Structure 1
Amino acid sequence: MHDGPHAAQPLASAHTANFPGLLRSLRASLLVSTYQAGKLVVLRADGERINTHFRTFNRPMGLAADRERLAVGAFAEIAELRNMPATAPRLADPPRHDAVFLARRTHITGAIDVHEMAFAADGTLWFVNTLFSCLCTLDERSSFVPRWRPPWVGHYAPEDRCHLNGLGLRDGEPRYVSALGATDTPQGWRANKRDGGVLADLADGRIIAEGLSMPHSPRWHDGRLWLLESGRGALVEIDPLSGAKRDVARVPGFARGIDFIGRFAFIGLSQLRESNAFTDIPITDDNSERLSGVWVVDIEQGTTVALLKFTGGVQEIFAVQVLAGLVFPEIILEGDLLATSYALPDAALREVRFSA
C-alpha cells in the first residue's frame, strides 16, 4: 500500500501480490486519470509493491502516450509533455527512472469536456470533444479544430447532444467511436442512458452496434474490436461487420478506460455516487459493493489475473494507458528540474559548449 500526497481523503491503494511481477514481466507501467480526485496516477513496479505516484491536474480525463510524449486532457486545456530520459540521473542516486516526462506546453481548449484521446500514426493528436459532439485536432489559432461529427448530429453546438466519449484507432487512424445515444437534442442521451448507447465506424458513419449500456473505450487489438459496456461492467468483443457482441469478462464496477498489452487488458473501474449522472444503470442495480481501481483481465480466458483497488481518495477513473517498454517513468510539472532542463534541436546541440 502507498499513500499519495495530502488530500481531503488520503490517496491509498492495495493490490494483489502478483501485480508488480506482472508489470515487470511485461516491461510496462500504467497511467491512470481520475478527474474526481484531480490526479494523474503513475503505477510502477517497485520491488514487491506497486508504487502509486500522483500528479495534480484540473479534472484530468483523456490520455494519449507513447515512449516519447504524453498528452493529458483536463478541464479547459490539453497539457503536452515530452520524455527527456537524459534528465533521469538528476532524480535519484542511483538512477532508477527510464523515462522523464517534462511539461512542454498547454493548449487552452476552453471547457469542452475532453474525453478519450489518441495519437494517430502521423503524430496528430485526436480527441473527443464531448460538449460539441465531435472529434477534433489542434492548431495554433483555434481552441479546437472539428474534424468529424456523427451523422446523426446535425450541427455543432455546446450542448452534449449524444455524449460522444470513446475513440479507437485502427491501423494508426481514428476509426471507432462510442456515444451514449444516437441523439441530436441538448443532452438527449440522458433519456435512455441505460441501454441507448452506440458504437460507430468513422469510415462510413455506420452504427455498428446499438442497444449498448453506456459504452466507452472502443479498441482494436489483436485483430479484434473491443468495447467496455460500462453500465454492465463488461468487456465485450464486437464483430465490426455484423455488430454481434460477446461478453469476454465481467468486472465489479463501472468499467471505463482500457488498454492492452499482449493477452492482457488493463481496465479501469469506478464507483458511482448517488449524485452521479451515471446511475439507474444495470451495474447500479446489481452490485452494491462497487470498486475503483485497475483490473487485469486475460482476454483469452476471460478471467481476472491481478488487480489494484484504491482504498481511499479515488472513486472514479476515466482513462488507463499502458506505457510499454517504460518500467519506472517520472512526470515533472514544476520545480528546478523543469526550470533547468533544455531540449534543443540536434544542430544546435552540436554547438553547445560549457565553460571549464
Structure 2
Amino acid sequence: MTAPKEIVAEEEAKPAGPEEEPLRSVHTTSFPALLEQLGASLLVTTYQAGKLVVLRADGGVLNTHFRNLVKPMGLAVEGGRLAVGCSVDVWEFHNVPAVCVKLDESEDYPTSIAKHDACFMPRRSHCTGDVQIHEMAFVKGESGKGKGESELVFVNTAFSCLAVRSEQNSFEPVWRPPFIDRLAPGDACHLNGLAAEGGRVKYVTALGQTTEPGGWRENKRDGGLLMDVDSGEVVCRGLSMPHSPRLYRDKLWLLESGEGTIGTVDPATGRYEAIAQFPGFTRGLSFLGPLAFIGLSQVRESAVFSGIPLVERLKKAEERTCGVWVLNIETGQTLGFCRFEAGVQEIFAVEVLPGVRFPDLVNHDAELVGRSYVLGDEALSQVPAEMRR
C-alpha cells in the first residue's frame, strides 16, 4: 500500500451532547479534492458511535457532518431514496431538493462556500425488531411480490437469512443458506454482506458454516465463506471474516476483514486474490470510476476479534486505524484517506453518492421536517404558486 504524500488537515466536530466524546478527524488534502473532481460525496455508518457521517468537500476542506441514529449499519441508495438499517427498525429517507434552499438560508446548516444539492427527509420507518440488520440493497422483486418494482432486501443476521419489509410482519424471509435448517434467532453463521447486480442478490458472505447459535465464533480466523445465492453453493472458503461482496467492472470483489485486505474472487476456481492491505479491519465498500472507498475499523482486542490475523499483525490497538481510505483499483495505490482520531472506532457501511456534492440528512430538526411538505403533481397544482418550491 502506497501512503499518500499530501499534507494532512484536521477538523473537530462539535459533540452532539454534553456527555459525548468530541468527534475528531484528520484527512489528506487529496480526499476532498477527489470528491470535488468526482462530483460526489460519501455516507458512512458507525453503529458504535450511533452516527451517520456525511463526508463532503467544502472549499478544499473535507466537511465531516454527523447525524444521530440508533446503531446504524446497512445503507442502500436508489435514485432519491436512502434506507438505513438501525437497531430495531429500517428508516427510509427521500431526497427533497426544494428543502436545500431552506438549509442554505439557515444559520443552523453552516458551510464555507458549498451549497446544498440534496436533502434527505424521513418518509418511512419499519420496525423489524432486533434482527441485527447488516447490508442492504434495493432490488427488483426479490420476494416475488414486487411486480418489477424495487424493494429493499436486507441481511437478517440474527435469523441467518435475507429478508424484506412487510406490511403486517416484522420481516419476510426470502432466502437462507441451505445448511441453515430452521428460521430462528441466534446468529449461527453471521451472514453479513450481499452483492446485488441486475436487480437481484447474487452473492452473500458469512463468517462460518454452522447451525449452532453463535457457532461462527469458534472458527472466525479462517471459517469465512462466499456463497452463490442462486445455487446455494459455497464459492470461496477459508476466508478471515469476509464482508462487503460487490460486483463491479465484471469482477467479484470482497473485503477479507480479518486480514485487512481488499481483493477479488474468481468464481470458477474460488480463489481470493488480495490487491491491497490496510491498517484496519476492512468493512464497507463502494466504487466510483477507478476508485474504491473502503471503510476501516480499529477493532480493539475482544472475544470477537481476538485471534484474527489483523490483530496479530498490528498487536497494539493504536496501530489499527478507523476511517475511509481511497484506493485506485487499477494501480493498487492509496490516493487519500479520512481518519477518525476520537469518538469513532468502528465503521460498517460506506456508500458513494455520485452526482451529489453536498447533501444533508434531516432527522433532528422537528420544525424543518414539520414545515416541509411533499405532494403529488395533482395536489401540488392546487397549492398557491408563491408557496411552492
Fold similarity call, TM over 0.5: yes
Partner deviation per Cα, 1:177-203 (whole Å, 9 max, x = no partner):
000001111111011000000000111
In the TM superposition, residue 335 of structure 1 has moved relative to its aligned partner by 2.3
Partner deviation per Cα, 1:288-328 (whole Å, 9 max, x = no partner):
30000001111111121111100110000000000111000
Residues 200 and 354 of structure 1: CA distance in aligned 2, closer, same or farther (over 3 Å)? same
Q: Tell me what 2:31 maps to.
A: 19
1:176 aligns with 2:203: yes
Q: Of the candidates 135, 139, 148, which is equivalent to residue 116 of structure 1? A: 135
In the TM superposition, residue 336 of structure 1 has moved relative to its aligned partner by 1.6
Q: Which 5+ residue runs of structure 2 have no aligned equivalent?
A: 1-9, 106-112, 141-148
Q: Partners of 1:95 and 1:244 in 2: how far apart?
A: 45
Q: Tell me what 2:98 maps to.
A: 86
1:313-332, aligned counterparts within 5 Å?
313-332=343-362
1:129 aligns with 2:156: yes
Q: Partners of 1:246 and 1:355 in 2: how far apart?
A: 59
Considering only aligned residues, what root-mean-square deviation do their CA atoms show, in Å?
1.4
Give yes or no for contact 2:189–2:214 (8 Å, CA) kept in 1.
yes
Partner deviation per Cα, 1:210-232 (whole Å, 9 max, x = no partner):
00000000000011000000000
Q: Of the candidates 2, 26, 34, which is equivalent to residue 11 of structure 2? A: 2
Q: Tell me what 1:341 maps to.
A: 372
1:1-356, aligned counterparts within 5 Å?
1-6=10-15, 8-93=20-105, 96-121=115-140, 122-275=149-302, 277-287=304-314, 288=316, 289-333=319-363, 334-353=365-384
In the TM superposition, residue 120 of structure 1 has moved relative to its aligned partner by 1.3
In the TM superposition, residue 129 of structure 1 has moved relative to its aligned partner by 0.3
In the TM superposition, residue 5 of structure 1 has moved relative to its aligned partner by 3.2
Give yes or no for contact 1:66–1:323 (8 Å, CA) kept in 2.
no
Give yes or no for contact 2:301–2:311 (8 Å, CA) kept in 1.
no
Partner deviation per Cα, 1:323-356 (whole Å, 9 max, x = no partner):
1110000100032211111111112112222689
Give yes or no for contact 1:67–1:326 (8 Å, CA) kept in 2.
no
Q: Which moved more, 1:59-68 or 1:96-105?
A: 59-68
Q: Partners of 2:277 and 2:73 in 1: how far apart?
A: 23
* Aligned AA (1:70): L
Residues 355 and 20 of structure 1: CA distance in aligned 2, closer, same or farther (over 3 Å)? closer
Q: Tell me what 2:108 maps to.
A: none
Give yes or no for contact 1:67–1:323 (8 Å, CA) kept in 2.
no
Residues 209 and 353 of structure 1: CA distance in aligned 2, closer, same or farther (over 3 Å)? same
In the TM superposition, residue 243 of structure 1 has moved relative to its aligned partner by 1.0
Give yes or no for contact 1:67–1:324 (8 Å, CA) kept in 2.
no
Give yes or no for contact 2:119–2:360 (8 Å, CA) kept in 1.
yes
Q: Partners of 2:270 and 2:373 in 1: how far apart?
A: 50
Residues 96 and 180 of structure 1: CA distance in aligned 2, closer, same or farther (over 3 Å)? same
In the TM superposition, residue 143 of structure 1 has moved relative to its aligned partner by 0.5
* Aligned AA (1:309): R
Q: Partners of 2:135 and 2:287 in 1: how far apart?
A: 15
Report the 3-state secondary structure (helix = DSSP H, G, I; strand = E; otherwise coil) of the residue aligned with 2:294. strand
TM-score computed with the length of structure 1 as normaliser: 0.97
Q: Partners of 1:225 and 1:138 in 2: how far apart?
A: 27
Report the 3-state secondary structure (helix = DSSP H, G, I; strand = E; otherwise coil) of the residue aligned with 2:150. coil
Q: Partners of 1:352 and 1:110 in 2: how far apart?
A: 39
Q: Partners of 1:175 and 1:352 in 2: how far apart?
A: 45
In the TM superposition, residue 276 of structure 1 has moved relative to its aligned partner by 5.4
Partner deviation per Cα, 1:38-90 (whole Å, 9 max, x = no partner):
00000000112110000001111111113401111110011110000011111
- Runs of 4 or more consecutive aligned structure 1 residues displaced over 6 Å after TM superposition: none
* Aligned AA (1:294): V
Q: Partners of 2:161 and 2:254 in 1: how far apart?
A: 19
TM-score computed with the length of structure 2 as normaliser: 0.89
Give yes or no for contact 1:76–1:112 (8 Å, CA) kept in 2.
yes
Give yes or no for contact 1:166–1:178 (8 Å, CA) kept in 2.
yes
Give yes or no for contact 2:114–2:358 (8 Å, CA) kept in 1.
no
Q: Partners of 2:206 and 2:281 in 1: how far apart?
A: 16
Q: Partners of 1:29 and 1:269 in 2: how far apart?
A: 18
Q: Partners of 1:75 and 1:17 in 2: how far apart?
A: 35
